[in-house]
């Protein structure tokens, strides 16, 4: 795996901006509660997955 790919994996848990955008969309009525919940769950999943993905990428051959 290339170094740039690892950097991308390391940036996965950056959820501040998407959370703000989703909150603004909910406040403006552009998205409903169900969609907002899905967005928050996907952000939480990426935060939880990132350490395992980074470990996997570092353990691959050529790492």
Largest CA-CA distance found in the chain, in angstroms, rounded: 48
Q: Does the model's pTM come out above 0.75?
A: no
Q: Where are the domains of the chain?
A: 3-59
Distance CA 1, CA 53 (A): 12
pLDDT in tens, 4-63: 777 777 777 778 888 899 999 999 999 999 999 999 999 999 888 888 888 888 887 655
d(CA 26, CA 9): 28
61 torsion bin: left (phi>0), alpha (psi -120 to 50), beta (else): beta
**Three-state SS at 13:** coil
Residues 6+ apart with CB under 8 A from 14: none
């Amino acid at each position: 795996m290339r170094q740039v790919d690892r950097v991308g994996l390391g940036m996965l848990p950056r959820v501040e901006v998407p959370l703000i955008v989703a909150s603004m969309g909910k406040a403006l009525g552009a998205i409903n509660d169900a969609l907002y919940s899905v967005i928050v769950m996907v952000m939480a999943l990426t935060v939880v997955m990132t350490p395992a993905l980074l470990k996997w990428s570092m353990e691959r051959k050529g790492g």
